[in-house]
Amino acid sequence: MSSHSNTLSTKELWNGGNVSPFGATYGKLMMWFFLISDALTFSSLLTAYGFMRHKFDDIWPKAENVFTHFPFYEGHIPLAYVGLMTFILIMSSVTMVLAVEAGQRKNQKQVAFWMLMTIIGGAMFVGSQAWEWFHFIVGTPEGHLREVMVDGKIVLQKVYGATMTNNEYSQSPLFAQFFFGITGFHGFHVFSGVIINLIIYINVLKGTYEKRGHYEMVEKVGLYWHFVDLVWVFVFTFFYLL
């Protein structure tokens, strides 16, 4: 009987032997599980946004009337700036994946170069978001008449820009609240991604992964970075395009 012999073929062993059923390392698997939970957080934020937007769709502002600014240009060009931000983030995703690819060839110089490009792209995106927030909060010089709660009474008042309670873009505070909440949460992810990338970049320069024999750490932070890009694709669609 073959099952009593000393040598076992892998086909008879549970899971085909001591081979991981997922064919991935522990670290990579855990990064994926973290990303699923993070994806659920972003999904719940975006579906809550969808709920409120359908509930108040008659008074919801149009994004192309809100985000019309572009640096060094006085004029009305909707979506151009957010288009540029999207391009920056997609580009930094590409440089990240090139860093991962260079790591798989164990080319330390190229990994360092592409990691640096990714960090610069991420920093540019965070800066762009700060600029966007600034213009959203300050608003237009004309402002807009809105019903505002003052000392428990509703009065008609000129509102400039946006706070958590009032904004000039619509009568409901929800648009500004979701804007701050969702793009803020995403921006925080980008910011922490830049910090994590910076740590890995320093390790690459120090030759930590050269000694270890592989650059899987770059791949793991790469997963996080692509996830941040993935979330932006959805935020971009639901906040700015639709």
Partner 1 sequence: MSGFHDYDPGYEFLAQHNETEGKQKRKQLWKVFWILLVITLVELVIGFYNSSFSPALLKVIFIGGTLFKAYYIVAEFMHLGHENKGLKITILVPYIVFILYLIWICLVEGVYSKVYRSFINKAPQETSAEHGGHH
Phi first, then psi, for residue 59 (nearest 5°) are -115, 10
Question: Looking at 123-131, 141-149, 173-181, 225-233, which segment touches partner 1 (CB under 8 A)?
Answer: 225-233
Give CA–CA dist 158/201, Å, rounded. Answer: 49
Residue 22 binding partner 1, by CB under 8 A? yes
Question: Looking at 97-105, 141-149, 179-187, 194-202, which segment touches partner 1 (CB under 8 A)?
Answer: 97-105
CB 88 within 8 A of CB 117: no
Region 101-130 residues binding partner 1, contact defined as CB under 8 A = 101-102, 104-106
In one-letter notation, the amino acid at residue 209 is: Y
For partner 1, give the closer residue by CB, 52 or 148.
52
Site string for partner 1, 162-201 (x = CB under 8 A): ----------------------------------------
Residue 227 binding partner 1, by CB under 8 A? yes
Residue 55 binding partner 1, by CB under 8 A? yes
Residue 241 binding partner 1, by CB under 8 A? yes
For partner 1, give the closer residue by CB, 161 or 222.
222
Dump the DSSP string for 139-151: --SS-EEEEEEET
Please state at what angle helix 26-55 crosses helix 184-206, rounded to 10 degrees: 160
Report CA torsion sign: 106, 107, 111, 114.
negative
Considering the complex, what minimum distance in angstroms separates the CB of residue 235 from partner 1?
10
Two tokens at 196?
Answer: 């994590």
* Residue 53 CB partners (closer than 8 Å, separation 6+): 60
From the list 45, 64, 113, 198, which residue makes contact with partner 1 (rule: CB under 8 A)? 64
For partner 1, give the closer residue by CB, 138 or 212.
212
Task: Find where tokens 């957080």 sit.
Answer: 41
According to DSSP H, which parts of 139-235 are helical?
Answer: 174-178, 184-206, 208-212, 216-235
Give CA–CA dist 181/184, Å, rounded. Answer: 5
For partner 1, give the closer residue by CB, 160 or 234.
234
3-state helix, strand, coil in the chain (%, to 5): 65, 5, 25
Contact residues: partner 1, CB under 8 A: 17-25, 28-29, 32, 36, 39-40, 43-44, 47-48, 50-58, 64, 78-80, 83, 86-87, 90-91, 93-94, 96-98, 101-102, 104-106, 213-214, 216, 219, 222-223, 226-227, 229-230, 233-234, 236-237, 240-242
